[in-house]
Structure 1
């Protein structure tokens, strides 16, 4: 049955009541420092207008969804570049969404919006980057910070305008004609003021997701890098003592590709125990891999391959208290596509593979999500077919 839950152990993977109606998609999960799970997603109504929603998990039920934003000026809504939610301060939430800045397809801004009453009311949105260029800004990651602030990390295309003299986005060019997509970060307070803006990397892959996780020392950010030889392996930077480190490659897969694969990494941390999962097709061999760090992301173990069958990536991971990790990804056979889940130890031992759900390999099925709360993992994904898209969630007892 399309969309039903399968697993090697029925008792371990359990569907949750659907928090959203049809035409709901692009879920993003957030685990607060207090251990509460939040979920954001988008919907489209009969008038083709989009809205952004937020809910929190209470036991095995989602709270009544609260609308965080609705489309008044045209949004950029994309299967791979989608909103996120984070908690910060005592009772505050922050979300992002993407709003068109010009008629060009890939000219859009990162909009931020905050609520100080758990999502009941929302302040006026603002542009995160404020460079004024009609270029691509997106693939945002959010995380809570100290002193009533939150961290935002995003891909920023302002340099593409400087090189071309016109708007430009989703650059797949290479070599001497490259147009640099950059990675930038900043902290924002409860009034929307920007603090410590930083250019993290001045040349990165153009449309792969970023991912950020708080550690005991600060933060670890992962993304797909880009070299002059068009090697697009996964890069990492950490924030410690008020400073960002220089980029380093987690593992030299050596994937040479003259275009963005739209398949970013996922990072999760528990203290200074960090797990990073990613997709690569180096040497024409598609793999989902996971690597571990016990020093807050300063260095990583050799990767462990997670998939056993044919994979198209779209990964997410969640660190466990003992340093192990749960990884989810999409895997295909001749006729079907499945969301699969596997636990991998920090020593590289891979456990049983579970099927979370049958899905579609189409872009509309998006990217599955996972966070860990206590002894359970919370999963979210978009169930898509030719007629509709609908948000689905489940728990996994590990």
Structure 2
């Protein structure tokens, strides 16, 4: 393992705040910008969803997307902002819908001036039955776009019951001006609380998610919509992970033209591992997976293309006295670089899902730390320093 103790990248860290902050999300766009969203405590126990854009090596002044609502704030299921086109952005968050712990809805809001102002929110799911709705991912096209979420309309919220129903995977399309259309059920039985991941490759939407079979096998599946036609979902690889409850560990996709990279965590047969597989045909099928970790991973993966033939993957691994964010490079022909320690972080769920985005020849990492108060931390590193 390679250890990185310092770097000389002359790029600014994330926007600072004297308030508590948590659960950053980093998403890049085709213009080479990075969109950042995060929760910030603006009064005791009152939170706002904030956004900023990294452009021309500068972070924009933070803007408020929404504030003072009854948000469902969760380490694994947290908001995002996504670039659509020109000055148009879409943001999502989760908002409580009832008295139950897991009564919450997905909310979408649009900005047509790069985040300065945001529309009133709307809910993409057609039913307002109280229950869980979350783990959202987006596929951004040219004029029509996609939003995917886990939908608990068929679940009983008391998970202590032996048969508590099943979580479903849903999709809706929306236009660049924010009109939602065509709700569609992709899969009627999926893992209850594993994040989803979606990418668009021209007219093809590729969705990765953790399935749930009748005998509690929870492996990663791919669903594709080619044009207007949904294809039958299929397992990327038959890991055979049998587990009675949700591991809260979803897959991540990244697309580069028709090449799609997929990373995920499994613990089949009690053997925890992080795997990567590639598709060269827009997700129609994937290569035999390659294991990338060397020790005791706990997952929470991220993945980004750094060239036309190589990706960067990050994950969390258990250490002796901390958890560690690790990363390494892997090529389309499965050549692996050395493993690199990015940062030692506090153990547990408080760090959320560490984020990673590429900017030119550098990569930005972000995560949450909670000592006396919650705060977002970040680090820039040259890509060339990872996996030497």
TM-score range, shorter chain: over 0.9
Q: Give the equivalent residue in structure 2 for 1:152.
A: 147
How many corresponding residue pairs?
381
| Cα displacement string for residues 206-246 of structure 1 (whole angstroms, at most 9, x for unaligned residues) | 00000112223422111111111100011111221122221
> Per the alignment, do residues 377 and 92 of structure 1 end up closer, same or farther by CA in structure 2, a change over 3 Å counting?
same
Cα distance in 2 for residues equivalent to 1:249 and 1:106: 29
Q: Is it true that 1:390 corresponds to 2:349 in the alignment?
A: no
For 2:154, what is the secondary structure of its paired residue?
helix
> Per the alignment, do residues 303 and 285 of structure 1 end up closer, same or farther by CA in structure 2, a change over 3 Å counting?
same
1:51 to 30, 48, 51: 48
> Per the alignment, do residues 100 and 327 of structure 1 end up closer, same or farther by CA in structure 2, a change over 3 Å counting?
same
Quote the offset at 1:200 in angstroms. 0.7
Quote the offset at 1:9 in angstroms. 7.5
Q: Give the equivalent residue in structure 1 for 2:226.
A: 240
Cα distance in 2 for residues equivalent to 1:193 and 1:372: 31
Q: Is it true that 1:264 corresponds to 2:260 in the alignment?
A: no
Q: What does residue range 375-386 of structure 1 map to in structure 2 within 5 Å?
A: 375-385=361-371
Cα distance in 2 for residues equivalent to 1:322 and 1:11: 25
Quote the offset at 1:310 in angstroms. 1.3
Q: Is it true that 1:343 corresponds to 2:340 in the alignment?
A: no
TM-score, structure 1 as length reference: 0.90
Residue 173 of structure 1 contacts residue 259 of structure 1 at CA under 8 Å; is this kept in 2?
no
TM-score, structure 2 as length reference: 0.93
2:128 to 115, 125, 132: 132
Any unmatched runs of 5+ in structure 1? 1-5
Cα distance in 1 for residues equivalent to 2:239 and 2:16: 39
Q: Is it true that 1:101 corresponds to 2:97 in the alignment?
A: yes
1:29 to 26, 36, 57: 26
Cα distance in 1 for residues equivalent to 2:160 and 2:272: 20
> Per the alignment, do residues 366 and 116 of structure 1 end up closer, same or farther by CA in structure 2, a change over 3 Å counting?
same
Quote the offset at 1:33 in angstroms. 2.5
Q: Give the equivalent residue in structure 1 for 2:267.
A: 281
Q: Give the equivalent residue in structure 2 for 1:3.
A: none
| Cα displacement string for residues 91-132 of structure 1 (whole angstroms, at most 9, x for unaligned residues) | 111101111111000010001101100011111111111301
Cα distance in 2 for residues equivalent to 1:13 and 1:329: 22
Quote the offset at 1:395 in angstroms. 2.8
Quote the offset at 1:150 in angstroms. 3.1
For 1:350, what is the secondary structure of its paired residue?
coil
Q: Give the equivalent residue in structure 1 for 2:342.
A: 356
For 1:352, what is the secondary structure of its paired residue?
coil
Cα distance in 2 for residues equivalent to 1:78 and 1:27: 12
Quote the offset at 1:370 in angstroms. 1.7
Residue 11 of structure 2 contacts residue 57 of structure 2 at CA under 8 Å; is this kept in 1?
no
Q: Is it true that 1:320 corresponds to 2:306 in the alignment?
A: yes
| Cα displacement string for residues 16-44 of structure 1 (whole angstroms, at most 9, x for unaligned residues) | 42314242111111111222211111112
Q: Give the equivalent residue in structure 2 for 1:69.
A: 66
> Per the alignment, do residues 9 and 347 of structure 1 end up closer, same or farther by CA in structure 2, a change over 3 Å counting?
farther
Cα distance in 1 for residues equivalent to 2:329 and 2:10: 17
| Cα displacement string for residues 132-153 of structure 1 (whole angstroms, at most 9, x for unaligned residues) | 1001000111232221x43211
Q: Give the equivalent residue in structure 1 for 2:386.
A: none
